[in-house]
Amino acid sequence: MNRLRNRLIAIFLAATLAPLAITLWITTSLLDQSLRYSSTDELDQLSRSLQQTGRELYRLTCQALKNDALAGRAPAQRYAAAAQAAWPAAVKNFFASGDAQSFAISGTEGNRIDYLERRGSDVWMWSTSLGDVGLDRLSREYRGSRELIERRKSRDLLRGFTYTYALLGACVWLASFGLLVYFAHRVSRPIQQLTAGLSKVAAGELSARVEATGSDETGRAIRAFNDMAERLQQSTERLVYLTQLASWQSLARKTAHEVKNSLTPIRLTVEEMVARYGEGDRAFVEQAAQIVVEEIESLERRVRAFSQFSAEPPVEPQTLDLNALVEERITFLKTGHPEVNYDLRLDGGHPAALADADLVKAILTNLLENAAEAAGEGGRVLAATALRNGHALVEVHDSGPGLSEQSRKTLFQPSISFKKGGMGLGLSIARKDALLSGGDIVLVKGELGGAAFQVLLPVASNGIQAHTDRG
């Protein structure tokens, strides 16, 4: 339903019909008052109305006759140039005037109107009758009434009513115009705001939004604009993030290659040194060599992490049962954290996601492991699934201390972590995997007092289907 169009139509009707009705009411009241006060005023009013009526009748009749003549609906009388001597006086006068067309009053008491038109040397004439109405008679009656009014008029009440009518009519029209301007502003303001919002987005201000207050076409357009701006902002942020990751991946590949080239000869040299050293200090050398080998292995793990971070594995989307996948990951991981209590809140509709199974498993493993470490002994971890806003969701909440404001700003940025087994790349890799799957990972408000992450994945349109995981 075109509400905007209907609103404009309603405004137009209100701006025209209401003043017209008020004007007619005022005119009727003033005419009634003038008739009550003086018969002379009544005669004056009637004479003027008679004059106006006669003029309007003449004008409308002339226009109708001309239209009928041009459309061929009225019979025409042709006066040929060869018979010019026999033309009526009115036709001769018209021809002599040089006009292309003209109207003339004829007949008894002026009750007929003729329309004459020059066509080459000929003259065509169309006529119409006014019936019992004679314009000559009306003219004589009007002149007589005016003479009578001038003789008998003692006071001019009609002029006072005319001025009052003009004043009230002007006030009514001004008030109507003010209402029209007000409602037009109400209608056009959202469009102006939408235009301003579009200009801001075009200028690069992707956070620009417009407040939607109505439910008509304009309101829906504003909401569509806000949704478009939101999606554009998210897409831009993801693109910037992926661009940053690409730079880090290039650095990671270079670092991994250089460190790996140095680690292999160091390990081989230390092992050869132990094999060739004498029996006297062998225990000390073995202990020192073991320390060096363990540190080298630690560096190798970091190199593998860099290699994983910089790699771009092929993505193979398939339909995944998120409920089953979350249950499987928790069953697999809870044995490594028996001190943590795990809770599940699975959507009864069995949300299905279209994504790479290995990537989703890696994402869930990373988030659940981080949640368990943050929750600590006696803590809680909640995993929930849902379908919301066109996405299949998995949320992971923990009861840990949460994240600081500074940590939130750089949470998904690649960094170096020196905690045991930590590379500082887990969340970066997890978000990269989510983006490669067509989704994302975002921070949400935690339900257990600690941190909470939401994994957004595309919804599978064909529902849950049987599939074989690659891992």
CATH number, position 230? 1.10.287
pLDDT at 279 over 60: no
Please check whether residues 355 and 293 belong to one and the same domain.
Answer: no
Percent of the chain topping pLDDT 90: 16
Q: Which residue has the higher pLDDT, 346 or 418?
A: 346
Distance CA 297, CA 281 (A): 24
Distance CA 81, CA 102 (A): 18
Please check whether residues 90 and 111 belong to one and the same domain.
Answer: yes
Q: Give backbone dihedrals phi and psi of 339, rounded to 5 degrees, phi first.
A: -80, -5
Q: What is the pTM of this model?
A: 0.44
Residues 6+ apart with CB under 8 A from 354: 317, 318, 319, 320, 438, 457, 458, 459, 460, 461
Q: In what order do the strands lie in the sheet with 122-129?
A: 76-79, 122-129, 112-119, 101-106
Pairing of strands 122-129, 112-119: antiparallel
Note whether residue 388 is domain-resident: yes
pLDDT confidence tier of residue 71, bands split at 50, 70 and 90: confident
Query: Tokens 């081989």 appear where?
Result: 268
Please check whether residues 326 and 447 belong to one and the same domain.
Answer: yes
Q: 324 is written with which tokens?
A: 């089953």
> Which spans in 203-337 are helix H?
217-276, 282-310, 322-333
Domain boundary among 245, 275, 310: 310
Please check whether residues 438 and 341 belong to one and the same domain.
Answer: yes
Please check whether residues 280 and 399 belong to one and the same domain.
Answer: no
pLDDT at 420 over 70: no
Domain boundary among 137, 154, 171: 154
What is the pLDDT, as a whole number, of residue 1? 44
Distance CA 75, CA 69 (A): 8
Q: What is the mean pLDDT of residues 402-410?
A: 82
- Domain coverage including residue 383: 317-458
Please check whether residues 302 and 337 belong to one and the same domain.
Answer: no
Q: Which helix (H) or strand (E) holds 352?
A: strand 352-356
Please check whether residues 124 and 150 belong to one and the same domain.
Answer: yes
What is the pLDDT, as a whole number, of residue 305? 65
Q: How many domains does the chain have?
A: 3
